Chains A and B, each alone.
Chain A
Amino acid sequence: DTEVTQTPKHLVMGMTNKKSLKCEQHMGHRAMYWYKQKAKKPPELMFVYSYEKLSINESVPSRFSPECPNSSLLNLHLHALQPEDSALYLCASSQPTGGRVNTEAFFGQGTRLTVV
């Protein structure tokens, strides 16, 4: 199973709503990522978790709050978002590098988020 599953596929939320994006993988990967992708742009890294601990936060606004409850799950909690936060949110997983070479990241299909 080389699949990363993201739910929901589409989400429309108001600026005062609280919602969560979910990501799950069963490949035994211990690094998980959140990326944000605007239309016609490359994915931009938001957060990296390594062994369930937050290792990278790319200066993301606090209205985005990541959580890694266990090695298979990654959540992104959303609160008080702005319309400019509308984008495709991609989750990915891989083995942590730590000197290993088999480090390709597997991506989910993404959640298309629209903030109204």
Chain B
Amino acid sequence: AQSVTQLGSHVSVSEGALVLLRCNYSSSVPPYLFWYVQYPNQGLQLLLKYTSAATLVKGINGFEAEFKKSETSFHLTKPSAHMSDAAEYFCAVLKAAGNKLTFGGGTRVLVKP
């Protein structure tokens, strides 16, 4: 079964510092992977997606993620955190058969001034 695991339920960074959110997947075939962001009392917004076209994927708001098959990872990074990046971030994997999108446990990002 395809699933994703996010390491760290909370991450605290200083404004201007690197943001690194970890996601590992388990899949027997190349997966479709996504990162979503959720602000308080909001729906989910797509940050970026991996669909095998390129291993380094650039998304919105300065975020990017690198797909590493050898490590079964799809970590999300942003070089310089902004106060507006404080939110919950979810890694997700899509099971093609049945259109089933499954989420990791989420990582809450706190940005300190």
Contacts and interface: CB of A to CB of B under 8 A. Distances in A.
B46 A104 contact: yes
Nearest to A55: B98
Given A42-B105, A104-B34, A104-B49, A109 B42 contact: yes
Contacts of A48: 98-100
Residue among A42, A45, A50, A94 with most chain B CB within 10 A: A42
B101 A45 contact: yes
A96 B42 contact: no
Given A103-B94, A108-B43, A109-B42, A45 B34 contact: no
A31 B99 contact: yes
A20 B91 CA distance: 30
A64 interface: no
Contacts of B44: 43, 90, 92, 107
Contacts of A107: 36, 43-45
17 contacts: A31-B99, A41-B105, A41-B106, A42-B104, A42-B105, A43-B103, A45-B101, A45-B102, A92-B44, A94-B101, A97-B32, A103-B32, A103-B99, A104-B34, A104-B46, A107-B36, A110-B43
Interface of A: 4, 6, 31, 33, 40-43, 45, 48, 50, 55-56, 90, 92, 94, 96-99, 101-110, 112
